[in-house]
Amino acid sequence: MDAQLRTDFNITTGAQNDFIERIKFKSKMKDSYRAAGVPVARYHMVHTIEAAREFIRTVGYPVIVKPDNGCGAEATYKLKNDEDLQAFFSKLPTIPYIMEEYIDGTIVSFDGVADSHCVPLFYTSNVFPTPLLDIVSQKGDLAYWTQKSVPAALKDVGFRTIKAFGAKSRFFHCEFFQLKNDKPGLGRKGDYVALEVNMRPAGGYTPDMINYANSVDCYQIWADMVCYDEVRNLDLNGPKFYCVYASRRDCHTYKHSHEQIMARYGGRMKMCDELPPALRLDMGDRMYTVNLRTSSERDAFIRYVQERT
């Protein structure tokens, strides 16, 4: 609605309708990713099962189907065979759906705040080792972390993406696949392939994790951007950590109790709480978040919190 008002009254200091279209629909995001020189998965707008089969003959199973205008892994499905395809079309949603080829990769994000010239004033990255789709469909335990530093290749594609989308004077959360294996037509192992963008702060408790990992206040960075178009009131060179999130679900039984977790990690614990109902499908029922210095400490923490009996 803000964008509609700016469009109607020709207010050019913020997002207008054309920008919203580019960031709202997954199919339209691909144009800006291509403009940034970032590979995108092949896709098909869902209409008929015959057309879907024709697309699948080209890309093969599995394929991912999700709302063209949707959030996270909500109403997203992996179709592994013809039986799954027929089941999906037997209850075809009434909203527009997009079908994409499956990408075997680790999801990484490029997060931060951009200035009025679409240049990041501050940037960081998060790693999601298990796809959210798998977490939701299997009632899995979510674990992810804010990185201590941003790899040079990710910084490069991130900066190009922000510029291509025209993301000025705003938070950004851009998602990529980092390929686990060579993928013909998309790239080699370790390359980045476009997933989607959210031109807002990352969801859940991620802004807090970004602050803890980078010893910053991203809300102050945003305020400085609004007032000065630069960072003035914050030192961006403070200590860096892995800020690690590990969740658990009430439906599972775990090897280590809450008391044992707090005894071992309480001194480094930044957040520990039950999650609100709106976040539990994706993010679990209870979460623990700590600052750690090494990748081995990070991995050991996740194992300790989530190991089941």
160 and 267 in a common domain: yes
CB 191 within 8 Å of CB 197: no
Is the full-model pTM beyond 0.85?
yes
Number of domains in the chain: 2
121 and 257 in a common domain: yes
112 and 47 in a common domain: no
CB 166 within 8 Å of CB 118: yes
Q: Quote the tokens at residue 134.
A: 């798998």
The Cα–Cα gap between 28 and 19 comes to: 10
Domain boundary among 42, 70, 101: 101
CB 14 within 8 Å of CB 65: no
pLDDT > 70? residue 73: no
Buried b (16+ CB within 10 A) or exposed e, 270-308: beeeebeeeebebbbbbbbbbbbeeeebbbebbebbbee
pLDDT in tens, 169-223: 999 999 999 999 999 989 999 999 999 999 999 999 999 999 999 999 999 999 9
**Domain region containing 202:** 105-306
Q: How confident is the model at residue 137 (pLDDT cuts 50, 70, 90)?
A: confident
Q: Quote the tokens at residue 58.
A: 């080209």
Return the CATH number at 65: 3.30.1490.20
CB 247 within 8 Å of CB 284: yes
29 and 63 in a common domain: yes
198 and 163 in a common domain: yes
pLDDT given at position 16: 87
Return the CATH number at 212: 3.30.470.20
96 and 120 in a common domain: no
